[in-house]
């Protein structure tokens, strides 16, 4: 039932840095929320994410044709909507009344809980158009291991034990094989994005160029054209990488890294890019408040709905 995929680490030799592309950005804020994070946009332009209400409770949301809908797993103390596919299926994670982490899929208004067998916690990150679900789980020792849930079967996705202190699968292409995510290496405790092209192949590391002495990159999404979006931190220490460094967004397209920063933001994260090249994510303003955003390249700005 369980398949281990990928045992080697290879550096993705794509270090060309392109000039930042020019985007029209539209802010996405859930009405009445104290903070908003946008996670994914599908081919139809539907957006999902999560927000915090005035009582400090986290909820998921769907934004479709200008209308916000709240997503709460029944009985949950926290819900996040992480991904939406072209069919409209939504995947994410929630905390139960005891604070335990579980994944879920919302399909045709019906919630299904997703738990990796024997795991102490399960987090769902993505769902592709084929319905394949990706994410991570914690084993009995607390080690974070990635997975793909496909055709009712879990596939374990883990970099070699000697090299990785964590593996996470954020998104899988519709072929069910090509995956992106991030991993931590035991040798230096740094965070790398990765691209894995098929089960059993090596992990090609993704590290945004010139990020300081402590590489810190996370690949969050891959579209059907092969464009990868993600986050990097200019870090010179482990603490800056994981806790205190400023977030920056990027795209990796045709071998070139493209830096993405929302104007006026202190931090920017690009969480997804759809097949039309529309990007979404979140940013922090000078008051430390997070807002979602949608970005369209200015040469395609007629697509932007404000």
Q: Give me the count of residues in the chain.
A: 306
Q: Radius of gyration (Cα) for the chain, nearest Å?
A: 18
What distance in Å separates the CA atoms of residue 116 and residue 167, rounded to the nearest whole number? Answer: 15
Is the confidence at residue 69, as pLDDT, over 80? yes
pTM of the model: 0.89
What distance in Å separates the CA atoms of residue 223 and residue 133, rounded to the nearest whole number? Answer: 15
What distance in Å separates the CA atoms of residue 152 and residue 77, rounded to the nearest whole number? Answer: 27
Question: What is the sign, positive or negative, of the torsion defined by CA atoms of 104, 200, 17, 266?
Answer: positive
Place of tokens 């940013």: 283
Question: What is the sign, positive or negative, of the torsion defined by CA atoms of 153, 194, 284, 273?
Answer: negative
Neighbours of 111 (CB within 10 A): 16
pLDDT above 90 covers what percent of the chain?
75
Tokens standing for residue 122: 């399960």
What distance in Å separates the CA atoms of residue 166 and residue 37, rounded to the nearest whole number? Answer: 24
Strand partners, 266: none
> The domain containing residue 20 runs over which residues?
4-303
Q: Are 172 and 197 in contact (CB under 8 A)?
A: no
pLDDT (mean) for 158-184: 88
Model confidence at 161, pLDDT cuts 50, 70, 90, reads low
What distance in Å separates the CA atoms of residue 7 and residue 89, rounded to the nearest whole number? Answer: 31
Comparing 29 with 237, the larger pLDDT belongs to: 29
Say which residues have a Cβ less than 8 Å from residue 186's Cβ, sequence separation at least 6.
162, 163, 164, 165
Return the SS3 of 301.
Answer: helix
Tokens standing for residue 303: 């697509």
Is the confidence at residue 217, as pLDDT, over 90? yes
**Per-residue model confidence (pLDDT) at position 176:** 93
From residue 146, give the alpha-carbon distance in Å to each of 106, 172, 189, 193, 292: 21, 12, 17, 13, 26
Is the confidence at residue 13, as pLDDT, over 50? no
What distance in Å separates the CA atoms of residue 188 and residue 203, rounded to the nearest whole number? Answer: 17
**Per-residue model confidence (pLDDT) at position 149:** 98
- Of 260, 176, 182, 167, which Cα lies nearest the Cα of 221? 182
Helices (H), 9-85: none
Domain containing residue 45: CATH number: 2.120.10.30
**Per-residue model confidence (pLDDT) at position 202:** 84
Is the confidence at residue 8, as pLDDT, over 70? no
Least confident window among 51-65, 168-182, 188-202: 188-202
Break the chain down into helix, strand, coil percent, rounded to 5. 5, 55, 45
Count of the separate structural domains present in the chain: 1
* 71-83 pLDDT per residue, tens: 999 999 999 999 9
Strand pairing category for 16-18 and 256-260: parallel
């Amino acid at each position: 039932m369980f398949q281990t995929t990928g045992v080697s680490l290879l550096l993705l030799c794509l270090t060309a840095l392109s000039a930042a592309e020019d985007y029209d950005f539209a802010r996405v804020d859930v009405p009445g929320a104290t903070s908003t994070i946008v996670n994914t946009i599908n081919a139809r332009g539907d957006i999902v994410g999560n927000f915090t209400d005035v009582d400090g409770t986290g909820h998921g949301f769907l934004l479709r044709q200008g209308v916000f809908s709240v997503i709460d797993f029944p009985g949950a103390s926290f819900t996040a909507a992480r991904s939406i596919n072209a069919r409209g299926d939504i995947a994410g994670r929630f905390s139960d009344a005891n604070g335990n982490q579980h994944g879920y899929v919302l399909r045709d208004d019906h919630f299904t809980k997703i738990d990796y067998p024997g795991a102490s916690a399960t987090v769902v990150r993505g769902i592709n158009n084929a319905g394949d679900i990706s994410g991570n789980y914690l084993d009995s020792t607390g080690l974070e291991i990635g997975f793909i849930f496909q055709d009712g079967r879990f596939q374990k996705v883990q970099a070699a034990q000697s090299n990785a202190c964590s593996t996470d699968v954020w998104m899988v292409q519709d072929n069910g094989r090509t995956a992106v995510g991030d991993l931590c290496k035991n040798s230096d405790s740094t965070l790398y994005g990765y691209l894995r092209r098929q089960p059993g192949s090596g992990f090609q590391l993704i590290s945004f160029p010139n990020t300081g002495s402590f590489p810190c990159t996370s690949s969050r999404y891959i579209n059907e054209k092969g464009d990868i979006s993600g986050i990097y931190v200019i870090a010179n220490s482990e603490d800056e990488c994981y806790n205190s460094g400023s977030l920056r967004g990027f795209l990796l397209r045709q071998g070139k890294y493209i830096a993405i920063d929302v104007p006026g933001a202190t931090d920017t994260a690009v969480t997804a890019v759809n097949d039309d090249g529309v990007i979404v994510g979140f940013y922090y303003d000078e008051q430390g408040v997070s807002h979602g955003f949608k970005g369209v390249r200015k040469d395609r700005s007629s697509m932007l709905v404000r």
